[in-house]
Amino acid sequence: MPATSAPTDMPQDMPLNAAPSPATNTSVCPEEIARFSALAQQWWDPAGPMRPLHAMNTVRTEWINRHLPLRGRTTRRVRLLDIGCGAGLASESLATAGHDVLGLDASADGIAAARAHLEAHPLPAGSGPLTYRNGSAEDLVAEGQHFDAVIALEIIEHVTDPEAFMHLLSALVEPGGTVIVSTMNRTLRSFAIGKVGAEYLLRLLPVGTHDWKKFIRPSDLARQARAAGLDMQTISGLTPGPAGWANSWKETRDLSVNYIASFIKR
């Protein structure tokens, strides 16, 4: 698509986060999986199409580490599920911090890239165990698996049914455990910056990466979480530093574009 083409998902007068369709019964959207699978071999290129994720990975990981459950441990190691892990940017960072990490993604190409990178770049001494699995959250729920913490980073805006997805996250975490979600707010500012700016003007992301209509307001995310038995504990904004989106990010009180939130399961 030419750089001058206008995005097709302009803001409309429509209800935000309308009730999910009864026919929606999976978190996996085949079109989204195909889009990210096509980028799998470029995922670890810090100057490639995933460079905004590389740029925000440090501040995101630090935030997660501060909000993971201690659950009486003398260390911060927890059994952690990274849903929608892609090629493993956050999974590797969290395992390096000492956690026991399972990276899960519905893209077989993404998981292959994650495994290849881990094999070529072994984690440093003192890291926690890291394994990868190709599959969906529904697979783990069907198996009765549970984790101390579940994280879903920049993924809920790509699933078929966000409200049902929050129920899946809740089903996968132990009572008293932590769920962490990062996503994009549904505001005019996020449309201008996260959609038009990032995809069409600055070309930081491939055109079509995001659908603004799927961005989620913090109030809607909190409501969906409560319905799934999750109570919001903390929320912070994430914003690029002075050098811009492709460079280091910082934590902020501004939730108008990117934000990250932690929840505790009742």
pTM for the complete prediction?
A: 0.85
Residue 201 annotated as binding?
A: no
CATH topology of domain 30-265: Rossmann fold (3.40.50)
**Cα separation, 146 vs 154, whole angstroms:** 21
pLDDT digits (tens, 9 = 90+) for 93-141: 999 999 999 999 999 999 999 999 999 999 999 999 999 999 999 999 9
DSSP character at residue 18:
P
Return the SS3 of 234: strand
Cα→Cα distances 141→88, 147, 266, Å: 21, 11, 18
* Residue 54, pLDDT above cutoff 60: yes
pLDDT, tens digit, for every residue of 6-19? 444 444 333 333 33
Question: What is the average per-residue pLDDT within 180-199?
Answer: 78
Closest CA to 251 of 106, 114, 61: 61
State the Cα–Cα distance between residues 44 and 67, nearest whole angstrom.
26
For residue 52, pLDDT beyond 60: yes
Q: Of the ranges 10-14, 166-170, 261-265, which one carries the lowest mean pLDDT score?
A: 10-14
Choose from 93-102, 206-215, 244-253 the range with maximum mean pLDDT.
93-102
Q: Alpha helices, DSSP H only, in 143-217?
A: 162-172, 188-190
Query: Tens digits of per-residue pLDDT, 61-74?
Result: 999 999 998 655 55
Residue 181 CA to residue 155 CA, distance in Å, equals 8
Distance, CA of 63 to CA of 68 (rounded, Å): 9
Residue 13 pairs in a beta bridge with none
Q: Is 45 annotated as a binding residue?
A: no
Give percent of the chain above pLDDT 70: 79
Distance CA 57, CA 51 (A): 10
84 is in an annotated binding site: yes
Q: Assign 204 a pLDDT band (cuts: 50, 70, 90).
A: low
Say if residue 60 carries a ligand binding annotation.
Answer: yes
Nearest to 90 by CA among 121, 130, 124: 130
Rounded to 5 degrees, what are φ and ψ at 265?
-80, 130
